[in-house]
Amino acid sequence: MPENSIQLSDPKISGNEWKYVKECLDSNWVSSAGKYVDLFEEKIADYTGAKHAIACVNGTSALQVSLRLAGVKPGDEVIVPTLTFIAPVNAIRYNGAEPIFMDADNYYNLDIKKTILYIINETVLKDGYTYNKNSDKRISAIVPVHVWGNAVWLDKLVMLCDERNIAIVEDACESLGTFYNAGKYKGKHTGTIGKLGCLSFNGNKIITTGGGGMILTGDESLSEKAKYLTTQAKDDPIRYVHNEIGYNFRLTNIQAALGVAQLEQLPGILKRKKEIYDFYQSTIENIAGLSLSKVPDYAHNNHWLNLLQIDSKVYNEDREVLMKRLEENGIQTRPVWKLNHEQKPYKGCQYYKVEKAKKLVDNSLCLPSSSNLSNENLNKIVSVLNG
């Protein structure tokens, strides 16, 4: 692909990034201590409304630690959608637990109806814990993933999981900026409803620290424990006493400095993301056989990534042919993730009535959605879609 090609999701560095990073370098505070780590945590907590935010090296490590903090033990089982980036599934395995894969809904998210049916019909509550009737294993947690920035509808799931003592760990890695505008959680940001929630600041996400993540929680003791575990579990930092096995997962000051500057840019980024969504929406609806995937009306969406749906009988090209033609025109697009229950490490794991996810994967294509995408390039993309 040529160098001036249109990328799927580029970072936008246009604020105080240079200034704050230079400050770290000038002051010699480059590693995991320094004012920006604390400041970034405070600012993320402020923005999302989470009581506590704990910075991590990436979103995957945030998920790994959050599942451990949620009480997931080796031999447990954890419910997760099959249609998601693989990171939350791997995080379940890092904790020695096994995934149970669920289907997707119209927004590519965890199918809540089927998940509730599964919990009601396929599990039992015994001595205060939920057990899988089929495997006899304890189901200790569930990971709703807010894919592409689409909020998962959590009202009913939270109620049932409370009754069943199943901890909710939200994967909000793609949905910073998305909040509910209806229901029980109106006004609440994704990632702040479960026992714990996780964000990612990878280069392709809505804001970036190069690599980085954040654990969100409303529980002070979990927050303290998260900080303890992510900084090598030091019980006495001077005499090197460790009473647990921790991790070296703390974000560095340089990365956090980038994060603080990026967070200042977030309102502008979100505004542009909405314009891009509106543009795609209004232009693509005029192309026979193509449509832009709908986003939930119960939430204010961050529109991190836009998805094209292709009806290949009407459009005369299938997903693969269209992807290739876009690439020849210097436009990068990507299919939706291969379903996790079909991935080599997870073949043989349990899955429940997976139907819709398969259809979504076959007919969808992620469109370039960077906030620094020019109007000229947007027009170019749509003109190639027009054939």
What residues make contact with ligand PLP under the rule CB under 6 A? Answer: 58-60, 84-85, 87-88, 145, 171, 173-174, 200, 202, 213
In what helix (H) or strand (E) does residue 60 lie, and over which residues does it extend?
helix 59-69
Question: Given the complex with ligand PLP, which of 34 and 191 has the nearer CB atom?
Answer: 191
Question: Given the complex with ligand PLP, which of 87 and 97 has the nearer CB atom?
Answer: 87
Question: Given the complex with ligand PLP, which of 97 and 290 has the nearer CB atom?
Answer: 97
Question: Given the complex with ligand PLP, which of 60 and 217 has the nearer CB atom?
Answer: 60
Nearest distance in Å: CB 241, ligand PLP = 30
Question: Given the complex with ligand PLP, which of 90 and 132 has the nearer CB atom?
Answer: 90
Nearest distance in Å: CB 179, ligand PLP = 18
3-state secondary structure (DSSP) of residue 185: coil
User: For the chain, how many residues are written?
Assistant: 387
Question: Given the complex with ligand PLP, which of 324 and 338 has the nearer CB atom?
Answer: 338
Nearest distance in Å: CB 204, ligand PLP = 7
Nearest distance in Å: CB 361, ligand PLP = 15
Alpha carbon distance 256, 251 (integer Å): 7
Q: What are phi and psi of 207, to 5 degrees?
A: -130, 155
**What is the DSSP code (8-state) at residue 294?**
P
Residue 121, C-beta contacts closer than 8 angstroms, at least 6 positions apart: none
Nearest distance in Å: CB 211, ligand PLP = 6
Question: Given the complex with ligand PLP, which of 11 and 59 has the nearer CB atom?
Answer: 59
Facing residues of 130 across strands?
A: 125
Nearest alpha carbon to residue 179 among 146, 208, 156, 212: 146
Alpha carbon distance 139, 136 (integer Å): 9
Nearest alpha carbon to residue 373 among 16, 5, 17: 5
Tokens of 259: 């994060």
3-state secondary structure (DSSP) of residue 216: strand
Q: What are phi and psi of 196, to 5 degrees?
A: -140, 155
| Residue number, nearest CB to ligand PLP | 59
Alpha carbon distance 172, 189 (integer Å): 9
| Cα distances (angstroms) measured from residue 67 to each of 16, 40, 89, 217, 373 | 34, 23, 11, 12, 36
Nearest distance in Å: CB 147, ligand PLP = 6
Q: For residues 149 and 178, is the Cβ–Cβ distance under 8 A?
A: yes
Nearest distance in Å: CB 55, ligand PLP = 12
Question: Given the complex with ligand PLP, which of 135 and 332 has the nearer CB atom?
Answer: 332
Nearest distance in Å: CB 175, ligand PLP = 9
